[in-house]
Structures are given as structure tokens and as C-alpha cells.
Amino acid sequence: MRSSLPPIAKGEPILQVENISLSFGGVNALTDVSFDILAGEVRAIIGPNGAGKTSMLNVINGFYHPQVGRVIHRGEARTGRKPHEAARRGIGRTFQNVALFKGLSTLDNIMAGRTLKMTRGFFWQCLRFGPALNEEIDHRRKVEEIIDFLEIEHIRKVPVGKLPYGLKKRVELGRALAQEPELLLLDEPMAGMNLEEKEDMSRFILDIRETFGTTIALIEHDMGVVMDLSDRVVVLEYGRKIADGTPDEVQNDPVVIDAYLGRSH
Amino acid sequence: MFYREVGQFKSTYAADMAIFPIRQDRIGIAVMLGLAVIAIPLVANDFVLASIMIPGLVFTLAAIGLNILTGYAGQISLGTGAFMGVGAYAAFKMASAFPQVNVIVWILASGVFSAGVGVVFGLPSLRIKGLYLAVTTLAAQFFLDWCFVRVGWLTDYSSSGAIEAARRSLFGIAITGPEATPLARYFVVLGLVVLLTFVASNLVHGRIGRTWMMVRDMDIAAELMGVRLLPAKLLAFAVSSYFAGVAGAMMVFFWLGAAEPSAFGISLSFQVLFMVIIGGLGSMIGSYFGAAFIWALPVLIKFTPNLFGIEIQSATVEHANSMIVGALIIFFLIVEPHGLAKLWAVTKQKLRVWPFPW
């Protein structure tokens, strides 16, 4: 419920991650990772496979709870917060391997993103008349705006199970947008896409920030995209932070180059 | 040829979001209702009403209940029979405790009790999923079965252990008990089932139904949209058990007239589950198809030879019946694993573009 949250000035930290350590049994997924995300920026999280990037997003979301460290969101520490609470506090998310509701149409998937904003109770839902129907129509109008924005009018009524991969990713982005998040976490939004689709997606990401003022944190493997889109980049390797800075700084950091290309022995 | 939406332009979201957005569908529903209200009472004899229509409608309601839980919310349950039993016993107890209140009120209220019981047995669903949950709901089935047999209070300590529908009337016409005509009972059952179908259909087409389907399709993403899983699943259990409970109460009061505890055994649960699977998971019309297929078809087959004056031993008919119905189940599930409702949807889609499907 974005409207219920006080606005946050551009450049102020919206989310701080402090000394996060997360392990599963004996496996350390994250070790002492700290960074921050400033309001209005595009923040990239990169690293080789298995570096702990998705685990990091899961910690921010509340799917995982770290053993050590805390996540400070809008100035309040939110250890132990559940995913649905994160949603209430304006954090949206897409998944690496598309997590759409496959039995529902594109329209219903995006409507699903509006769930929290619908308030009519059980009684009116039973009648689907008057206030409940009006509410549904109001939200449909919002959803149509998002459908227009993402240029997916033609697949409005298609069950998402039948859509090609690139469009699924776009629908998922639409679903996250329908939540009107203040902070949007994108987990590999361009994985498995061709050049044209990547360009489209990059354009959407920039447009989202431009139009809705959304802060974006994204994980991506395509370095060209990361360097072009992001304001700041944090690099993880084996669960540790090895670099943090602007794309130029990170690109020329010898530790990062070693992590990606391997070092000579 | 006649089933076509050409020229039906929708200029409002309300029209586009209607449950039957195509005009021919709305006409079709009106015709079906007309048949059910006018034509069937005129042509059908007492046997058709009492043995096909009334139980068919009662089972439809139970199937809608299970479909909400299994088809829409994705939680498999094998306790439907027991939840129907809870409704039946609740209606029996209340109707005998407060005879001055109309029996229809008690039948509708009986579902509240089974909803409560359903919620209790739905609690494990947060941790247990799929087939394991089905086994957990078996516990409900066996525990409640035991209660119906052992707890004498439920049957008002009747010596036979059975419950009986009391004599009650509506507007001076007997609707339950031995004096009630099949026609009167049919109208009451039809009215209640149509009303409750309307409610169920509204629920699944709105926010709550969408929440259920979100939980069914991808629970982690649902959480991320702000859905709290346990309340969403428990609501599905409550609504589903409510429908099952009302169906159970109607089964005793309008169809059987009396029932022993064994009527609400595990075989009833399976029967309703088969209706839902054959009819189509996650479909309202599928619940009707499923109930018609599993209940009405065997009855029709059983009496077809008599209709043509062919003399066959009833045992032979019984065997042939099982074979035919079994073969049809296999046939339909191979042709369309998603049930008769999907078959119906495919047919409609084909009709829409006929005769130029490209």
C-alpha cells in the first residue's frame, strides 16, 4: 500500500543490508554481506553462478531469515518478517524461473498483483455486485494501464501456460508492477532472451523507474546490460561481497576480473 | 453456426468481466433454468425426480464444495463424506431442537457446523501438501465416522442409530418427511442448489477465488503478492465444507428421508471426488457434468432395457452398468484428462470458429 507509506526522498537509503550471514546446514550461502540501496536508483547484484545473489533477494523478501545480520527497510530493522509483510511494505519481486500462476490468464495474473489493494470482504464477494464489482472494475482499469505500458494487449486473455518464455517474463514484470512497489527486485529479468527481447526489457526497466519512480534492484548475468542500466553494482562471489561501486569502478576492479575470468597461477 | 460472438462488442469492463460474456451462453443458461423449472416438473414422473434429479442436484452441490477446495485451492481432500455427515447431523439436531424455525434455515445453517469442522481438519494444510494432505483428511473421515456411530447424542439416542428427516413444511406444503411429494422436494432442492451455485460462482470469479487459484498454482508467488497462505487455505476449507455440509443435510432431508452413519462413509467421499475429477477440476459447470455422469448415467443405463421392454435379469444389468460406466470413465479421461468441462470448453471454442477454423 504505497499511499500509506510516507514518501522517501531520492538518494536516501531505502534498504540497508547489514552483515548478513546465511547458511543451510554446513553450506554458507552468504557471509557477512553489507550494502545499501538508495531510493530511485538501479542497483545491480552480479556474481558468478552460486554466488548467493538469489539468496540475497530471498533474504530481502523474507523467504530466508539470516542467522546473523539484519535488513533495514525504510529505517526499521525487519528480521523475521514474512514475505507477505514485505509485499505490504512495498517490495515487489520477479523470479529467475518464471513463477506465474499458470492456470490463470495474463489479465488474472496481473489482477493477482492487486490482491492487497482489494478490500471488499466475503459478503460482497459472494454477491459480486455493487461495491465488489465496482472495486474489481477499478482495478481492471489499473491493470489495463499496465498491460498498455508493457505492450501485451494481444495476450490479455491467453492462459499464461501457453505463452512463450519472453512474454512470460513480461507478464511477471506486469504482475510485480500491479503491486505498485516502491522497491522492485528483479531476478534475472533477461535470462534466456534474445537481443531484441533484452532491449525491450531494458527499455521497460528504465521506463518503470522514469514513470513510476520505482527503485530497482536487479540480478543479471549479461554484463553489457548491467553496465548500461545500473547506477551502482555490488559483486558477490562464494557468498562474500568482493566489490561495490559504479559500473566503471567495478569493471576495472582486479578482484572482480579474477572472479569472472579466474586468476593465473 | 449459432454459437458466435461476432458483433457483440463490449464497451465496458463490467461487460467484459461478466461470468457469461457471450450472449448465447446467457441464453443457454436461461433455457436450462427454464427446462429445470418448467419442463422437467411437467414431463418427469416421481421416479425421475426422486432418483435422478434430486440426488443429482445434491451431489452437484457436494461436488461444487469439493471443487472449491481441490479444483480452485488445490488442496486434495478425502473427507467430503464426513463433512456432509456433519451437515446432516447438525441439521437433524437443530430441526428437532427448534421445530418452530423453518427447516430450510436449519439446512443452510448446518453448513456452518461442517465449515467449523472443516477448518479444524484443514489446519495441517499449511505444512502438508498434495497426497499427504489427502491422507490427513482421511483422519477426518474416520474420526467423524466414529463419532456418528458412537456418540448417541448426535442421533438423539435412537435405537437404530439412524437419523430421520422430521416432517416440516414450507408455505403449508410438506417439503420433508414421508408426506412430501418428490415434486415439492425437487423444487426446494433446485432452488437451494441454484442459489448456492450462484454464490460459489461469484466467489471464484472475484478476489477470493483468485487468491485460491494463486495458492494452487504457485504458493511462493502468492505470498509475495501479500496472500497469507494459512487464512487463504482455511477459508477454502471452510467454504468447501459449508457446501458439503448443506449437501449432506439435503441428502437426508430431501432425498433419503433417513440415513445411517454408513451413508457418510469413505465411499461417499470417493464418489464426490470422482465427480470432481471426471467433471473437471476448477470448473463450476464441471461439477454439474460430473454429478450427472457419475450419478444419473448409471441410473439411466439401469432402466433403459425396461423402457424398451427387454427382459434382462437385474444382476446382468448391474454388471453391464459397472462395465459401461468404467469404460466411459477411462475413455473420457484419455480423450481429455482435464475432465468433461474442458471437453465442453473445447467444443465451444470449435463452434465459435466453425466452419472456418483457421
The model's pLDDT over A228-256, given as tens digits with 9 standing for 90+, comes to 999 999 999 888 998 899 998 888 888 88
Q: Report ipTM for this prediction.
A: 0.88
Residue A229 makes CB contacts below 8 A (sequence gap 6+) with A42, A44, A202, A205, A206, A218, A220
Distance between CA atoms of A193 and B223, rounded to whole angstroms? 27
pLDDT at residue B111 in the model:
92
Q: Exposed e or buried b for every residue in B43-56, given b needs 16+ CB within 10 A?
A: ebeeebbbbbbbbb
Contacts of A104 in chain B (CB under 8 A): 210, 213-214, 217
A101 contacts chain B (CB < 8 A): yes
Q: Is the pLDDT of residue A98 over 90?
A: no
Percentage of residues of chain B with pLDDT beyond 70? 98
Q: Are A213 and A243 in contact (CB under 8 A)?
A: no
> Which grid cell is A45?
547484484
> Which grid cell is B285?
459447470
Low-confidence ranges of chain B (pLDDT < 70): 1-3, 6, 357-358
Q: Are A77 and B199 in contact (CB under 8 A)?
A: no
Distance between CA atoms of A235 and A186, rounded to whole angstroms? 16
The model's pLDDT over A18-45, given as tens digits with 9 standing for 90+, comes to 999 999 988 889 999 999 999 999 999 9
pLDDT band with cut points at 50, 70 and 90 for residue A2: very low
Pairs of residues, one from chain A and one from chain B, whose beta carbons lie less than 8 Å apart: 100
Contacts of B225 in chain A (CB under 8 A): 87, 112-113, 115-116, 175, 179
Domains in chain A, CATH or no CATH each: 1-90+181-265 (3.40.50.300), 103-179 (no CATH)
**A82–B223 C-beta distance less than 8 A:** yes
Q: Which of B202, B206, B226 lies nearest to residue A116, judging by beta carbons?
A: B226
**B14–A84 C-beta distance less than 8 A:** no
3-state DSSP assignment of residue A84: helix
3-state DSSP assignment of residue A253: coil
The overall average pLDDT reported for chain A is 88
pLDDT at residue A1 in the model:
41
A141 in the Ramachandran plot: left (φ > 0), alpha (ψ -120 to 50) or beta?
A: alpha
Domains in chain B, CATH or no CATH each: 38-353 (1.10.3470)
**Closest CA–CA distance from residue B39 to any residue of chain A (Å):** 28
Percentage of residues of chain A with pLDDT beyond 90? 39
Secondary structure string (H, E, C) spanning A123-163: HHHHHCCCHHHHHHHHHHHHHHHHHHHHCCHHHCCCEHHHC
pLDDT at residue A233 in the model:
93
Residues A116-131 have a mean pLDDT of 81
**B225–A61 C-beta distance less than 8 A:** no
The model's pLDDT over A185-228, given as tens digits with 9 standing for 90+, comes to 999 998 888 899 899 999 999 999 999 889 999 999 888 888 99
DSSP sequence for B136-149:
HHHHHHHHHHHHHH
> What end-to-end distance do the CA atoms of chain A give, in Å?
53
Q: Is the pLDDT of residue A264 over 70?
A: no
Strand A215-219 and strand B163-164: the pairing is unpaired
